[in-house]
Structures are given as structure tokens and as C-alpha cells.
Structure 1
Amino acid sequence: MKLPFSANLGFLWTELVLPDAVRAAAKAGFEAVELHWPYAVEPSLLGHALAESGLPVLGLNTSRGNVDAGDFGLSALPGREKEARAAIDQAIAYATAIGATAVHVMAGKTDGLAARDTFTANLRYAADQARTAGITILLEPLNHHDVPGYFLVDNATAAAIIEATGRDNIRIMFDCYHVGRSGKSILEEFDTYRQFIGHIQFAAVPDRGEPDTGEVDYASVLPKMAEAGYAGYFGAEYKPRRSTDEGLGWLAAWR
């Protein structure tokens, strides 16, 4: 079974300017790319590289906010709805300009019922704004080791919030690394929340390096997800231990 792989350029080829990273991903044999925060790059420059490479761009993240002040997302922070919705508008506009099909709305570091209500309301806003552009809204649970204090830490909460929004264009970005780093079974979580999943990402557990090492046998796990009905791309969102090119042996081997 040949699986379609997407290169996450938030971690891969970071020594290159983003348009050149797109070209590098195409040369390496990836079938798509995905982004973190591309906003410093003029959309037309990125769009030109995407058209040249022939790769689709799957998604990007909303702004983290004031990183120097500790922000890691805004949409679950009570009292900062104006900033959160400006970040959502920015992400949807940029995604539309480059042809991206999804926007990951980042929750931020907070907790409590007010945060849950705020996140739910902002996700409704995001879904409604994205609908006319044909864009899917994603939300991603993050493990508490990597991002202490992040609001959204498990798929159960993500699924409940999606149901509470009453919107059908919001899905879970299912990151195998975060699931595994949280001590849960990746395949059991996948089976439980499959109906909510819009995109899958992966990296080695526990160090987030190349996926052909570590505790998870992705050469077995990812095909099982495809056999179970997942028809999307698998996003390689890992941190290369050396250079990106040096660590791509897994891609050739899994072909």
C-alpha cells in the first residue's frame, strides 16, 4: 500500500526560505506540504512555488499571539476574543490566497469552563468564516510535556467541543506523536475518534525525531489507519535529528 505523505515545513527544511522548502519537499518525493506560521512570506511567492512544484498545501496554523509573553494560541482565552478572531481571519485569508484546504485554530494556554465556552464560540466563528472558502477548521490536542498548560490535551475533549459547536466543517488534527507522548494507544484513539479526524500527523515517540525509530512502529500503524478507512495525507511533522535530507531514509524505505 502506497501512502500519501505531506511534509510539514514548520519543522522540515527550516534552513531554507519557505518557497525553496516547498521545492525541496517536491524533489524529495512528498505528495503535499503543510505549514505552521507562513505569514512573513508574501502569499504570491509561496503560491508560485506551489504551482511550480505541483504540490497541494494542506493547512496552516492561526497565530500564536504574543510569543514573548508566553502565548501559544488565542482562541480559548477569555477576554481576548477580538485578537483570536483577527488571527482566524488572517489565517483564512492566507489559506485562501495559497489554496490551502484547512486552518488549525490554536486554543492557547488556559483552563476552565470559561475557556471551553470561549473556544467553542471562536470555533463556531472560524467554521462559519471558512465555509464559503471551502476550508476545514482543525483543532489539535497537544501533550502536556511539550506544551504545559495548553487547553486542549486529549481527543475526548476535542470531540466533545466539535459536537458542541454544531458545525460540520470542524475536525480533529490527530497527531500520533502527541497521542503516544501522552501514554495512549495510537490505534485505540484512532478507532475511537475516527469519525472526527480530518488530518493525521506523525513523529517518533518520545523524541519527535524521524519516524522510523522510537516506540511506535509507524510502518505498521499508518497502513492500518488507511485500511480502516482514513483516505487523507499523513503529515510528517517531526524534528530532524540532523539535516532533513539526511533523515529521509524512512520515506524511501516505506515506498
Structure 2
Amino acid sequence: MHQLEWIGIIRHGESVGNVAAATAEEKGSDLIDIAERDADVALSDAGEKQAEAVGDWLAALPEDERPHVVIVSPYVRAWQTAEIALKSLDIPVLRDERLRDRELGVLDLHTGHGIRSKFPEESERRQRVGKFYYRPPGGESWADVLLRIRSLLRDVAEDHAEQRVLFFAHDAVVSLFRYILEDLDEEELMTSAKKSPIANCSISSWRWSDEGWASELFNDVKHLEQDASAHPTAEEGVDAPAV
């Protein structure tokens, strides 16, 4: 069976969508004020600084610890993060749509308050089904995203066997990488997601051994804390309303 040597994954930097979502929730608004479609939401100024800090972290790695290849979600905020972080490094970069953010369907751009107000039956159904399996109309559940991530990891292991691979993606995707690589169950995943929201430009990584995948870092932001202009942020994505 093909296997990778090392897996790293970085959540995109703070986006203008993260900022707008936080503002809308604070104001108790029903809708998040974003003109662009989710795939086109760009980084905020703070997000660009966070991506630069990731670049400093990567550049400081020893040559034999740097990733052989980088695979990125095609969403603008993830691609911009990778582009900034990798600008001084000569590492091949690939796009893969399976890393895209979770799709919310009819709930897209609604705050938690807006969903409870406009879609009370969906709010009740989500409470009954649970966050892991709840699929909004026209959207995806966490379990749906998990299926495409499993497919991605199988293909990447075959195409890049015994290599170090770094991914740039989104908060739910980071959590689901951990679910797969650390063999978590639903309760463990949901507890972790609630206790430790995935920070923008945080780093998570695992290394393969004969015993399986061993965690090295999870949701680590020390590289951001060292730079005053790249302070950590952990706003939920615009795809993650508090239903």
C-alpha cells in the first residue's frame, strides 16, 4: 500500500468573509454581507499578514523537512494564502476541488440567527441529526466532505508515495484530516471542533511510522504569535453558522 511520509495542512488566512460573518453575528443580522460567491472570497489585510508568517515558517524549515508538493483548495482565500506563503520557495503547487469548503446550500450566507428565524425546521433538524450528519438542502454534511477527503488522500498517497505533502484548505477540512489520520469517532471530532476552533493560518501535521500516523502539531499558531502584525484569529468560515 502506498503511503506518504508526512502530511501538513494549513487553514487559509483570515478572509473578508470571516470578518463579515463575525460582524453579522455580533449585530444579530440574518444575513452576512458578502457580494462575492463563497469561492471568490479573498483574504483580509490581516489574512495576508498571517500568510506571510506561514511563509517565514516554511522558509525556516531544513531542506529535508520542507514539503515536496503543495495541494490547495481552488477557493480564492486558500489559493492566495498558499501563493503568499510560497512566494520565496520553489515547490510544485496543485489545485484539487476536493479540498473546497463545505457547501451550505440554501443556508449559504445566513447567520445562526438568520437560520433560526427563516429556517426553523432546518435548525430543529440539525439539532436532531447532529452536526456531523446534518445536510442542509442543496448542501453538504461533514460526512459528505469526509468522503471526498478520503478519496483525495488515497489518490495523493498513490501519486506522491513516501513524499511530504502540504495542503491549504478550510477549517472543516482540517478537522476532518484529523478525524481520518487519528481515527477519531463522531463524538471525539465534535468535541474537538467545539473546544478548539481551527485558527486562520494554523498548522497541523502528522508523520507516518510503522505504528501509523503520529500527530506533530495541531491547530498550532506559534508562528503567528511571533509576529505582531499576524495575530491569530479563529473566526468560523462563512460556511459554519451556529445553527
State whether TM-score is above 0.5.
no
Q: TM-score, normalised by structure 1?
A: 0.29
Q: TM-score, normalised by structure 2?
A: 0.30
Higher relative contact order (CA 8 A, sep 6+): 2
